[in-house]
Chains A and B, each alone.
Chain A
Amino acid sequence: MSELSELYQEVILDHNKSPRNFHKLEGANRRADGYNPLCGDKVTIYIKLEGDVIKEISFEGSGCAISKASASMMTDALKGKSRAEAQALFDKVHKMLMGERDPKADSLELGKLAVLSGVCQFPARVKCASLSWHTSHAALKGEKEVTSTEIPGE
């Protein structure tokens, strides 16, 4: 498979065309904005947290296929997860995007999200995929600041 078709796998193209949970969430009690100043991608994550569990999650924004698909798949993956489970998933996805994981382990542990592993071959696109994850992380922590992909030291 060429690098290009590894990046733009069917699942990603599908989530780009028909993003899931792509709307404002009424009754959300967590919300964060994410922004990638390099390309202008913007995302807003809405979370309805009940106790420790992500009852509902949605997103809005504009961005490339990678950022949209990543956000869409993330909302599917995080729904129903506890904060600790979400945190564990953040860490795994982050490592996958940085190319620090074994691809076989990805498909076992990350399921559908493993299609994002092709992104690590495209360093310029890693931030597109990670923006929504960083932003969800911020929403769960209740951070008020806009999450930017351009954080010194990142």
Chain B
Amino acid sequence: MKPVREAAAPRGWGEGRTALDVAGIRADFPILKQQIHGKPLVYFDNAATSQKPQAVIDAVNRYYAAENANIHRGIHFLSELATAEYEEARARAKRFLNASDSREIIFVRGTTEGINLVAQSYGRRFIKGGDEIIISAMEHHSNIVPWQMLCEQVGACLRVVPINHDGEILLEEYERLLNDKTKLVSVAHVSNALGTINPVKQIVEMAHRRNVPVLLDGAQAVPHMKVDVQDLDCDFYAFSGHKLFGPTGIGILFGKAKHLEAMPPYQGGGDMISLVTFEKTHYNILPYKFEAGTPHIAGGIGLGAAIGYLEGIGLEAVSVYEQGLLAYATEALSSIKGLRIIGTAKEKAGVVSFVLDGVHPHDIGTVLDQEGVAIRAGHHCAMPVMQRFGVPATARASFAFYNTKEEVDILVRAIHKVIKVFS
């Protein structure tokens, strides 16, 4: 195997780093230098997708410019190099999640595919008519619809844990829903629409007392905090590369080996087999059993670079910085007359969803855009959450470690402009 090229160490790499060098970090993200409608870009749509540092862009470019070859098959230099880079990305994802084994790290297209894989492979093998699956009332559509599809296929029943008015899961209701028919629990680690950080360790413990496996949708958690799947003891954990400063179309599904071993393949094709005859096919070992066809190789390598970049900065420092930003933004936005924050959980990640008296979120989005401020306006692929709070949509500002308090000030001024337009 050929040696893997080391990605350039990101800013802040090294010992003794305590606070974030945000100016230096911003310089690593070329997109942040541009102007939108003649104003500096303020990118507050990180929960939809994050921006990419130069290290990720370079890794993807380098693969296509100098390393492009198919993996796991070619007996030639480039194929071995591409394979080594791709597998190094898997190893990084394993370290990133603190999984015990690289075999437990499956490359998928994103969180959505990760959840669908578990629903269709684990679900169709182990969940039967009359069984129950538990999700929460704050799930993204991608953690609702795959289970509804499974329920329809096998005759199982979907149960939903309610949330309180702050947007927190009601654990006593969850306890009540857990029963002998429960065969799987699937909840968000962090809510994309509300920002709530769920007590997932406790949720896992409560399920495991009844031997019920738990899938965590980590799409909104991994960019903001250190995740340790062994400590959480979750059975599955899914996240998307593009929300973690990596490319779109690539993501990770972690699964405990004991489950993955027992599960049938999700898709059939090349790479997931060890021997094919017309009479019988033998499936490949983990993780390849779940990786049919040529994958998004550049995406995997780019995701590896993103993880490397993020590790260089340090997720602990990221968490501390973003909590400061969230507190600042929450206070600043709360002081705007007529503005109501939706999602006021005690434990929150950098997401502020809000509504403004008499102004539809879409109109907020358009006015803010003219000020160079990018936010999301809509139902955030979480229509049941909107229903729960009695709003058709919200405006959502979501932060990353490259955002600043000065940008929050620009947001606040822009919201005052919205109020002026619609007063």
Q: Nearest Cβ distance between residue A10 and chain B, in whole angstroms? A: 11
**Chain B contacts with A in 341-358, Cβ cutoff 8 A:** 358
Q: Check B416 for interface membership: any CB of A closer than 8 A.
A: no
Q: Check B317 for interface membership: any CB of A closer than 8 A.
A: no
Chain A residues closer than 8 Å to B363, beta-carbon distance: 8, 64-66
B residues neighboring A (CB under 8 Å):
358-363, 366-367, 370, 377-379, 383, 386, 392-393, 421-422
Q: Check A13 for interface membership: any CB of B closer than 8 A.
A: yes
Chain B residues closer than 8 Å to A17, beta-carbon distance: 358
Q: How many residues of A contact B (CB 8 A)?
A: 23
A residues neighboring B (CB under 8 Å):
2-4, 7-8, 13, 16-17, 38-42, 62-66, 68, 122, 124-125, 128
A16, A17, A64, A68 pick with most chain B CB within 10 angstroms: A64
Q: Is the CB of A39 within 8 A of B362?
A: yes
Report the nearest A residue to B371, measured CB to CB.
A4
Q: Known interface pairs A39-B393, A40-B379, A40-B392. Does A8 touch B421 (Cβ–Cβ under 8 Å)?
A: yes
Q: Nearest Cβ distance between residue B396 and chain A, in whole angstroms? A: 13
Q: Is the CB of B366 within 8 A of A41?
A: no
- A63 vs B370: C-alpha distance when bound (angstroms): 20
Q: Is the CB of A4 within 8 A of B367?
A: yes
Q: Is the CB of B367 within 8 A of A63?
A: no
Q: Is the CB of A39 within 8 A of B421?
A: no
Report the nearest A residue to B379, measured CB to CB.
A40
Chain A residues closer than 8 Å to B366, beta-carbon distance: 4, 7, 122, 124-125
- A41 vs B379: C-alpha distance when bound (angstroms): 10
Chain A residues closer than 8 Å to B377, beta-carbon distance: 39
Report the nearest A residue to B367, measured CB to CB.
A4
- A7 vs B367: C-alpha distance when bound (angstroms): 10
Q: Which of B358, B360, B370, B393 sits near A4, CB closer than 8 Å?
A: B370
Chain B residues closer than 8 Å to A40, beta-carbon distance: 378-379, 383, 386, 392-393
Chain A residues closer than 8 Å to B379, beta-carbon distance: 39-40
Chain A residues closer than 8 Å to B370, beta-carbon distance: 2-4
Q: Is the CB of B421 within 8 A of A4?
A: yes
The 7 closest A-B pairs by CB, nearest first: A64-B360, A64-B362, A40-B392, A4-B370, A65-B363, A40-B379, A64-B363
A2, A42, A65, A124 pick with most chain B CB within 10 angstroms: A65
Q: Nearest Cβ distance between residue B362 and chain A, in whole angstroms? A: 4
